[in-house]
Structure 1
Amino acid sequence: MFVLEDSETGTVAGICAIEVAVGLNDPWYNYRVGTLVHASKELNVYNALPTLFLSNDHTGSSELCTLFLDPDWRKEGNGYLLSKSRFMFMAAFRDKFNDKVVAEMRGVIDEHGYSPFWQSLGKRFFSMDFSRADFLCGTGQKAFYCRTDAKHPIYTHFLSQEAQDVIGQVHPQTAPARAVLEKEGFRYRNYIDIFDGGPTLECDIDRVRAIRKSRLVEVAEGQPAQGDFPACLVANENYHHFRVVLARTDPATERLILTAAQLDALKCHAGDRVRLVRLCAEEKTA
């Protein structure tokens, strides 16, 4: 787990986490959105029907999870710093993670905790509201879902239209987080959450932009050069005392100049090597 902290006041502004490998101790379930074809030449019938298949395909994958940022801190790149700090850790300790990284995105749920997907599907197998099912999932009891008829393929046409419409869609407040991950290389590959129908994004770990483009540079103490430099992530390589800060600098530099305060925040000294990458992908120009 990672904590975003104001280094001057000690105020905790947010948390995020990584699961090294999902589904090894408790089963990991989601739905794969696929197709079943029913056809008959004699009757001149051909129907390709969208279908949900209960899946364990992501077992063993590393997962981005548990991201929360205090509303008062949702500014000045703090959300990017919090979310992408995990990529710097994964880049530094690549051998500890799987070749695939997944992230379950929050699905469509209203302010009263009503989930169209759960209401039309999950609740038919369980006499509980979505909030209760979500609590069981959040406390590591997701395996209860497999002990139902839901393990059989389900035609989405049997669901309400409202439920069909939210399959693979994110909650409006989650849309920015989805956009951040997609710019890092994550894609929706037709896997959804079994509770709210939200999309599961995935990416090969070595294709994640921040991991792929990060590199080690030597750090020195001083006053950083002035200029119109982009925000960059700078991280140490200390497994037990991992730190990441934001700094405006040239992402292509071979020798990074940081202030004494920045070095102290990173728990680094002049001459150490730190990991550096641009905070956000460069915008493509026409």
Structure 2
Amino acid sequence: MLLLRPARMSDLAEVQRLASESPLGVTSLPNDAGRLRDKIVASEASFGAEVSFNGEESYFFVLEETDSGQLAGCSGIIASAGYSEPFYSFRNETFVHNSRQLNIQNKIHVLSLCHDLTGNSLLTSFHVDHGLAGAAGAELNSRGRLLFMADHPERFADAVVVEIIGQSDEQGQSPFWNAVGRNFFDMSYAEAERLGGMRSRAYLAELMPHYPIYVPLLSDEAQDAMGLVHPRAQVSFDILMREGFETDHYIDIFDGGPTVHARVSGIRSIAHSHEVAFAVGKTSGERAFLIANGRLQDFRATIATLDWMPGAPLVMPADVAELLELRTGESVRLVSV
């Protein structure tokens, strides 16, 4: 069975394996033991902290295959984007140039560097093993953390953003970076992303152009790449779209990938989830559900096939209750897959 739970220090070696397999551009998952150790330490402190509003906390989850004990994926949440360093994006805008004498009006697409999304909660560090891409495990890895947000709303902002990896090739060449960022840094896209993962993207962003960039002046390849999703990020992107996230307003300043956002109240796994009491017993199992135990440090989530409808009692197999470490009298939060 698959189990989503908070990462712990004993996971470090497996987490680094996942990081080494993740695509270029996931700077929140650097292939560096020291940075990953710090990530897990910060996550453990966040899960253990008493919190009444979103601040500097970061939560890191791992997807465990319980039969083997190996990790099959990971994902995270940053409570407040831009809390410790600026959170930059390019905002898609339209400038109107008008000449009354010539009776000409032009609408020009521009990109403006901004930190509009600072303060929103940020979903990060998504990665699943290739065999789980497009399967229920990817749903659990992405949406299970949303159930955590639903059970602990005081820890997060009223809106959520996600940076999706943009286009680059196997040689680490990004059309958008080559047209924009490379003019300000003497390094390739691959080098910039590795440096951002090892240190910080914020100081690189501070050297990007702070004046509007006129999109028609960029190469056709760069324009075509704006808002496009890397093939290895398509599964994550599709899940977020089904959850109600919106695109078109912001793109990543490095590779031009879409930065999607949503109000928490409009996210499907949060708005349509149910908190219900359960009983252990046999069930025919007709529909797949994401189920979370609602706890904090001992948070657990999994996928199970159940026979349940809203308003009806929830009957759960004993092995699922045991996996979630549930006790008699507790409730669970669930939403259909």
Q: Same fold (TM over 0.5)?
A: yes
Percentage of matched positions with identical amino acids: 37
- Give, in whole Å, the separation in 2 of the partners of 1:36 and 1:149: 20
- Give, in whole Å, the separation in 2 of the partners of 1:162 and 1:76: 32
For 1:148-227, what aligned pairs fall within 5 Å after superposition? 148=207, 150-224=209-283, 226-227=284-285
Does residue 1:247 correspond to 2:304, yes or no?
Answer: yes
- Give, in whole Å, the separation in 2 of the partners of 1:76 and 1:49: 41
Does residue 1:40 correspond to 2:60, yes or no?
Answer: no
Match of 2:324 among 250, 266, 286: 266
Checking the alignment, whether the CA contact within 8 Å between 1:22 and 1:63 is kept in structure 2 is yes
TM-score for the superposition, normalised by structure 2 = 0.79
- Give, in whole Å, the separation in 2 of the partners of 1:251 and 1:201: 31
- Give, in whole Å, the separation in 2 of the partners of 1:44 and 1:76: 56
Give the partner amino acid of 2:229. Answer: V
- Give, in whole Å, the separation in 1 of the partners of 2:67 and 2:225: 43
Does residue 1:97 correspond to 2:156, yes or no?
Answer: yes
- Give, in whole Å, the separation in 2 of the partners of 1:156 and 1:75: 34
Does residue 1:80 correspond to 2:139, yes or no?
Answer: yes
Runs of 5+ consecutive residues of structure 1 not aligned to the other structure: 280-286
1:88-136, Cα deviation, whole Å (9 max, x unpaired): 0000001111011011111011111110000011000110110121123
Checking the alignment, whether the CA contact within 8 Å between 2:196 and 2:204 is kept in structure 1 is no
- CA 1:42–1:76 in 2, change beyond 3 Å: closer, same or farther? closer
Runs of 5+ consecutive residues of structure 2 not aligned to the other structure: 1-59
- CA 1:149–1:214 in 2, change beyond 3 Å: closer, same or farther? closer
2:6 aligned partner: none
Does residue 1:232 correspond to 2:295, yes or no?
Answer: no
- Give, in whole Å, the separation in 2 of the partners of 1:116 and 1:31: 16
Aligned-residue RMSD, C-alpha: 1.5
- Give, in whole Å, the separation in 1 of the partners of 2:320 and 2:143: 18
2:181 aligned partner: 122
1:276 aligned partner: 334
Give the partner amino acid of 1:11. Answer: Q
1:4 aligned partner: 63
The list of structure 1 runs, each at least 4 consecutive aligned residues, that deviate by more than 6 angstroms after superposition, is: none
Does residue 1:257 correspond to 2:315, yes or no?
Answer: yes
1:244-284, Cα deviation, whole Å (9 max, x unpaired): 011112242542222222111101023211111111xxxxx
TM-score for the superposition, normalised by structure 1 = 0.93
- Give, in whole Å, the separation in 1 of the partners of 2:221 and 2:318: 56
Identify which range, 262-271 or 81-90, moves more after superposition: 262-271
- Give, in whole Å, the separation in 2 of the partners of 1:182 and 1:210: 12
Give the partner amino acid of 2:294. Answer: E
Does residue 1:135 correspond to 2:194, yes or no?
Answer: yes
- Give, in whole Å, the separation in 1 of the partners of 2:208 and 2:178: 16
